[in-house]
Structure 1
Amino acid sequence: MARYFDVHPDNPQRRVIGQVVDLVRGGGLIAYPTDSCFALGCAIGNAEGLARIRTIRRLDDRHHFTLVCADFAQLGQFVQISNAVFRAVKAATPGQYTFILPATKEVPRRLLHPKKKTVGVRIPDHRVVQALLAELGEPLLSSTLLLPDEEAPPTIGWEIKEALDHAVDGVVDSGECGTEPTTVVDLSGPEPEIVRKGAGDPSRFE
């Protein structure tokens, strides 16, 4: 049965944030809100958590997972980024974008696209997520909480707990969340490619 964490959206309680992070460090899988929609998240090194996300979402090995980072210093450890790409990403973050970039050796092979050796990264504009990341000290391995056969992500924490009570270990609720996933931009090639149009304005990359 999943634990339920009620977190204040503007002033996240340190005690509760610590409990969530302890769960993640202990190998747990959580559902948590972001500035776009709910996501599934676990520690980067959690191979079982990754497999559970694949099972919940019915994903194949070509799916791009996302490292949700606290800031640019953290992001730079996990992806290779040129000066031009740096400027483009910097101008759009924190915000509702996921960027696909070549991974560094810090990223476990199981997280990489099998052919491109790329990974998704993002820096969210959300106080609860930033509190979790600050306490955790590393990115959260994440994927949009979009269930099979559903057109939009769920938005209400207690409904997610009911639906995934035996599939995740914790649900973080800080109030109703959005329904639109991030805009995904592939910056691994010579020109930006909009992979998915979502919450972030794609026009700056078109």
Structure 2
Amino acid sequence: MATYFEVHPDNPQPRSIRQVVDVVRAGGLIAYPTDSCFALGCQMGNTASLERIRDIRKLDPSHHFTLVCRDFAQLGQLVKITNSMFRLIKAATPGPYTFVLPATRDVPRRLMHPRKRTVGVRIPDHRVAQALLAELGEPMLSSTLLLPGEDDPMTNGQQIKQRLEHEIDAVIDSGDCGTEPTTVVDLSQDEPQIVRVGAGDPSRFE
């Protein structure tokens, strides 16, 4: 049964944040708010929770998971970035963008695209998400909370708890968050490719 945590959107209570992170460290799967929409999150190396996300969302093996980072230093440890791409990403972060880039050896192979060896990374501009990442001390594996057959991601914490009561371990709710997934930009080639238009303005990459 999922534990429900209600936290302040601007000043998230440290005790609640610690309790949620304890769930993550114990191998749990959480739903948490970001600057784009709610996401499912777990520890980067947790295979069991990764499979739980696949099952909840009915994802195929080639799906790009996202590693959510606290800052650019964390992001830079996970992906290979050229100087030109560095400037593009730096100007757009933190924000509602996911960048697809070649993964470094620090990324478990099961999280990479099976053929391209790429992975998605992002830095959210959301105080609760940032508080979780700061307490965890490492990137978190995430996926948009978009359920099979639905056109839009889930945006209400209470509804998420009711719908996924027995499939996740915790819901952290700070009220309204974004209603659109991130804009996804593939930077693994010479020129940026817009994979999905979402909450972030794609024009800076066109």
TM-score using structure 1 length = 0.99
Matched residue SS, 2:42: strand
In structure 2, the gaps of 5 or more residues are: none
Aligned counterparts of 1:82 and 1:15: Cα–Cα separation in 2: 40
Q: Structure 1: which amino acid aligns with 2:176?
A: E
Tell me the residue number matched to 1:184: 184
Q: Note the alpha carbon deviations across 1:65-123, whole angstroms, 9 max, x for none.
A: 00000001100111011111000000000001000000000000110000000000000
Runs of 4 or more consecutive aligned structure 1 residues displaced over 6 Å after TM superposition: none
In structure 1, the gaps of 5 or more residues are: none
Q: Structure 2: which amino acid aligns with 1:128?
A: V
Q: How does 1:13-32 map to 2 (within 5 A)?
A: 13-32=13-32
Matched residue SS, 1:94: coil
Tell me the residue number matched to 1:61: 61
Tell me the residue number matched to 1:115: 115
Aligned counterparts of 1:8 and 1:140: Cα–Cα separation in 2: 21
Tell me the residue number matched to 1:88: 88
Tell me how far 1:154 sits from its aligned partner: 1.2
Aligned counterparts of 2:14 and 2:177: Cα–Cα separation in 1: 21
Tell me how far 1:192 sits from its aligned partner: 0.3
Tell me the residue number matched to 2:97: 97
Tell me the residue number matched to 1:199: 199
Q: Structure 1: which amino acid aligns with 2:150?
A: E
Q: What is the count of residue pairs matched by the alignment?
A: 206
Matched residue SS, 1:147: coil
Tell me the residue number matched to 2:77: 77
Q: Structure 1: which amino acid aligns with 2:195?
A: V
Aligned counterparts of 2:200 and 2:153: Cα–Cα separation in 1: 16
Identity of aligned residues (%): 74
Q: Structure 2: which amino acid aligns with 1:3?
A: T
Tell me how far 1:178 sits from its aligned partner: 2.0
RMSD of aligned residue pairs (Cα, Å): 0.5
Matched residue SS, 1:23: helix
Tell me the residue number matched to 2:135: 135
Q: Structure 2: which amino acid aligns with 1:22?
A: D
Matched residue SS, 2:113: coil
Matched residue SS, 2:185: strand
Aligned counterparts of 1:154 and 1:53: Cα–Cα separation in 2: 15
Tell me how far 1:183 sits from its aligned partner: 0.1
Q: Structure 2: which amino acid aligns with 1:82?
A: T
TM-score using structure 2 length = 0.99
Q: Structure 2: which amino acid aligns with 1:27?
A: G
Moved more, 65-74 or 172-181: 172-181
Q: Note the alpha carbon deviations across 1:155-205, whole angstroms, 9 max, x for none.
A: 110000000000100001000222200000000001100000000000110
Tell me the residue number matched to 1:149: 149
